[in-house]
Amino acid sequence: MLDGFIRVGSASVETFVGNPFKNAENIIKTVKEADNSGVKLLCFSELSLTGIDIGDLFFSDVLLKKAKAALMSIISETADTDVMFVVGLPVKISSKIYNCAAVIGKGELFALIPSREESPYFAKFESEKGVQLYDFIKNDGGYTESIPFTDKIIFSCEDCENYKFGVVFGYNGKKTEELCKKGAKIILSLSSYPETVSSRNNKNTFYKCLSAKQICGIVCAECDETESSAKAVYSANHMIYECGEKLCENAPFEDKKLLISEIDVNKIANLRSREKSYGEEPSLYSKEVGVYDEFEFAQDITVTPLTRHIDKNPFMPDNCEGAKRAEHITKIQAYGLKKRMTASKSRKMVIGISGGLDSTLALLICVKTADLLGYDRKSVVAVTMPCFGTSERTKSNAVVLCEKLGVDLRTVDITEAVRLHFKDISHDESVRNAAYENSQARERTQVLMDIANDEGGLVIGTGDLSESALGWCTYNGDHMSMYAVNCSVPKTLMRNIVENEAKNCTDKSLSDTLFDILNTPVSPELMPPEDGKIAQCTEEIIGPYALHDFFIYYTVKYGFTNEKLLRLAEYAFDGEYTRADIEKCYNVFKRRFATQQFKRSCAPDGVIIGSVNLSNYGGFSMPSDVDSDIFS
């Protein structure tokens, strides 16, 4: 439960049709198994105490009394566990029989939740009042305990603010929305969907869309294959979803009765707070008509070991179709640039090409844009500007790349211009400080801007999201352009896109060049090479971009605490980076992310391609003079 991770479970048991006591024994075993596995919240299938298809036996007083007695045995036998769980059973009140869910924890029956679905055997619960009390438990001494009987109820953990859950029956999107708007972060769905040729796809689509729309976690428990097959066959096809992402699934007829994962309720709360149109209502509860009630329960706060997958490359998740997604991103970039070109009535795209990853992707986008516009590829003016730090490898790759793509390649050696500038500002060339490095970057930008003016074109920026987050760019140097096509593309995603281009390239020479660029160390190349090799490797200075991109994603999208973010990084990069490596890189990230906002505040326009971006127009907003200790 620490950091908001609630370990949840979805379960079915071997079903003895019409025998509540045998089913109760299996439920008790499963609850204890779940407790030993650290599960805090567990959902069983609909009518799990009796079986789903028992027909007119639901009218039998013998069965109804046995179901009630079996429920009491479950409550007493699981009193020493720390699991909140829900089981299904029929309950008779006066002359009506209701399909109910019993909410149980630490030897206590918290509530009975009736279904509003009518069937040949069950009455439809129609009350719009708040909590109604039902005298469900009576002992031999005549003691009566009244139990809440309502579906207008939220269950809230005393010591974990965002740990709130509600209960629904089956595919009830309307009820799920109602519970979520009242504050529930997790929905337990007691289901009884028969297995058909399309049922699995239908359920996955439903829960994916519903959990995304309602920004919640959903735990769906289906009936076991040992249910009666008189009318249909069931398959224990359990599912656990979180905000549109499937955390795990028990495939139909898979021999895995207990499905376990962790739902992040803090993440859900954060996403809801950012979604202004979501409209979760304040926690105002009373017993007035139509108003929800909130019942508190207590559980031990423990560190939950994570079993769910933590993607180390969240900008390009493992479960995505990488090639299709990469292609789609380049289309977004190209169409964004196409609009800017037509709006500005520009005929030329001017780009600085270094032989590095960023300028390579930007050049590919420029070429795609030229093709979209019907322009000759010579409308792309690619300028290579060698200086002190340029290596033969990057220069050679830049030339081959431009020649193969058929763009207008120009070389402007800026060495003497930079030296003249050093003279103008009285800078000693042997002093290799920020002025030494940034003079080169600013001279390159000046050359590009002037060529663009001369050609009636636009300077296309090459800087990416990772560099923007870290401020790893020269202010008014490579920081500036007339349109930034890569501004929402982080370094890790950029590698994936360029790799996709290389794999799909029919020209072997071009493909080989792209792969060599991918294998070239990331460097601004502002320091002279050593023995002909790149001397300035960015990731040796600031840390791996894989870690920085991970930090960017979870900081900007979810606002996670430092400790939670480091914990997730440990899981994601287990065996790749040590905790010390991760902390060292994170310290660099925190400092630079906070102090370099002034560069992002005046960045050029650029296309947004994903939910995480640092654009001034609908992206991440932060004062440039924020106290840098904010992320400490």
pLDDT in tens, 572-611: 999 999 999 999 999 999 999 999 999 999 999 999 998 8
pLDDT at 285 over 80: no
pLDDT at 489 over 90: yes
Closest by CA to 206, choosing from 187, 224, 225, is 187
- Total-model pTM: 0.90
pLDDT at 142 over 70: no
Residues of the chain with CATH 3.60.110.10: 2-297
Letter string b/e over residues 265-289, b meaning 16 or more CB atoms within 10 A of that residue's CB: bbbbbbbbeeeeeeebeeeebeeee
Confidence of residue 628 (pLDDT cuts 50, 70, 90): confident
Judge whether 26 and 14 are in contact, CB under 8 Å: yes
Closest by CA to 551, choosing from 469, 486, 463, 462, is 469
High-pLDDT (> 70) share of the chain, %? 95
| pLDDT tens readout for residues 367-385 | 999 999 999 999 999 999 9
Closest by CA to 164, choosing from 84, 239, 101, is 84
| Contact partners, residue 434, CB within 8 Å, separation at least 6 | none
349: left (phi over 0), alpha (psi -120 to 50) or beta: beta
In what side-by-side order are the strands of the sheet with 164-169? Answer: 245-249, 239-242, 217-221, 186-190, 164-169, 153-157, 293-297
Residues of the chain with CATH 3.40.50.620: 322-539+602-613
Confidence of residue 287 (pLDDT cuts 50, 70, 90): very low
Judge whether 536 and 527 are in contact, CB under 8 Å: yes
Query: Of the ranges 319-323, 448-452, 466-470, 511-515, which one carries the lowest mean pLDDT score?
Result: 319-323
**What are the tokens at 110?**
């918290």
| pLDDT tens readout for residues 20-38 | 999 999 999 999 999 999 9
Sign of CA dihedral 230, 236, 237, 242: positive
pLDDT at 131: 62
Rounded mean pLDDT of the chain? 92
**Hey, what amino acid is at 186?**
I
Residue 408: burial class (beta carbons within 10 Å; 0-12, 13-18, 19+) = middle
Closest by CA to 92, choosing from 70, 67, 129, 127, is 67
Judge whether 22 and 61 are in contact, CB under 8 Å: no
Confidence of residue 299 (pLDDT cuts 50, 70, 90): very high
What number is the average pLDDT over the span 219-224?
Answer: 95
pLDDT at 212 over 80: yes
Judge whether 89 and 43 are in contact, CB under 8 Å: no
Confidence of residue 497 (pLDDT cuts 50, 70, 90): very high
**Hey, what amino acid is at 143?**
Y
pLDDT at 19: 95
Judge whether 408 and 382 are in contact, CB under 8 Å: yes
Closest by CA to 618, choosing from 551, 556, 549, 553, is 556
What number is the average pLDDT over the span 508-521?
Answer: 95
For β-strands 186-190 and 41-44, DSSP reports them as unpaired
Sign of CA dihedral 320, 323, 324, 327: positive
Letter string b/e over residues 138-175, b meaning 16 or more CB atoms within 10 A of that residue's CB: eeeeeeeeebbbbbbbbbbbeebebbbbbbbbebbeeb
Judge whether 68 and 112 are in contact, CB under 8 Å: no
pLDDT at 284: 47
Instruction: Considering only residues 248 and 618, tell me which one the structure prediction assigns the higher pLDDT.
Output: 248
Which regions of 435-560 does DSSP assign to beta strands (E)?
Answer: 457-461, 483-484
Query: Of the ranges 202-216, 301-315, 379-393, 463-477, which one carries the lowest mean pLDDT score?
Result: 301-315
| Contact partners, residue 180, CB within 8 Å, separation at least 6 | 166, 187, 214, 215, 216, 280
CATH number for the domain running over 322-539+602-613 = 3.40.50.620
pLDDT at 620: 81
The CATH H-level superfamily of 2-297 is: Carbon-nitrogen hydrolase (3.60.110.10)
